Amino acid sequence: MFTEATLPDQLQANAGDPLRILIVGAGIGGTTAAQLLRTRGLHPVLIDRVSSFDDAGYMLALMPMVDAAIDALGVRDAYVEASTPVDRYRVLNHHGAQIREDSLGELLRDYGDYRGISRGALLDVLTEAGAPVTVGTTVRSLNDGDASAHVRFDTPDGAAEATFDAVIIADGIHSHTRRFTPGGTGLNETITGWGGWVVWADADDDIDLGEEMWGDGFFVGSYPVAGAIGAFIGGPGGDTAVGPQAFVDSIRAHLTSRTSRLDHVLDSVSAADEPFYWVLDDVRTQQWASGRTVLLGDAAAGFLPTAGIGAGMAIESAWVLCGTIADATSASVRVALSAYEAEQRPRVESAQANSRQLAGLMFRRSTLLAHARNLAMRMMTIEAALGPIKKLLQKPARIPEVTEAVD
Q: State pLDDT tens for residues 269-294.
A: 999 988 999 999 999 999 999 999 99
CA distances from 190 to 24, 155, 239, 298, 350 (A): 24, 33, 19, 13, 15
- Domain with 349, as residue range(s), is 2-85+114-188+284-362
> Which runs of consecutive H residues, i.e. helices, occur in 309-407?
310-325, 333-362, 367-379, 382-385, 387-394
The answer to whether residues 127 and 35 touch, using CB atoms and an 8 Å cutoff, is: yes
- Strand 166-169 and strand 293-295: the pairing is parallel
Amino acid identity at 145: G
Q: State pLDDT tens for residues 306-329.
A: 888 999 999 999 999 999 999 999
- For the entire predicted model, the pTM comes to 0.94
DSSP state of 291: T
Q: State pLDDT tens for residues 61-99.
A: 999 999 999 999 999 999 999 999 999 999 999 999 999
Position 27 scores a pLDDT of 96
The answer to whether residues 92 and 373 touch, using CB atoms and an 8 Å cutoff, is: no
Position 56 scores a pLDDT of 59
- pLDDT tier for residue 106 given thresholds of 50, 70 and 90: confident
Rounded distance, CA 35 to CA 43, Å? 9
The mean pLDDT value of the chain amounts to 92
Position 404 scores a pLDDT of 58
The number of domains in the chain is: 1
CA-closest candidate to residue 376, choices 366, 390, 387, 362? 362
Dihedral of the alpha carbons of 321, 23, 139, 161, in degrees to the nearest 10: -120
Asked, for residue 332, whether it belongs to a domain, the answer is yes
Asked, for residue 181, whether it belongs to a domain, the answer is yes
Percent above pLDDT 90 for the chain: 77
Please give the radius of gyration of the chain, using alpha carbons only, rounded to the nearest integer.
Answer: 21
User: 36: domain CATH number?
Assistant: 3.50.50.60
Asked, for residue 57, whether it belongs to a domain, the answer is yes
Asked, for residue 147, whether it belongs to a domain, the answer is yes
Asked, for residue 400, whether it belongs to a domain, the answer is no
Is 407 a residue whose pLDDT tops 50?
Answer: no
The answer to whether residues 219 and 249 touch, using CB atoms and an 8 Å cutoff, is: no
Is 374 a residue whose pLDDT tops 90?
Answer: no
Asked, for residue 327, whether it belongs to a domain, the answer is yes
Position 3 scores a pLDDT of 94
Asked, for residue 403, whether it belongs to a domain, the answer is no
Position 369 scores a pLDDT of 72
Asked, for residue 226, whether it belongs to a domain, the answer is no
Rounded distance, CA 248 to CA 132, Å? 42
- Positive or negative: CA dihedral 332, 335, 339, 341: positive
The answer to whether residues 269 and 197 touch, using CB atoms and an 8 Å cutoff, is: yes
- pLDDT tier for residue 406 given thresholds of 50, 70 and 90: very low
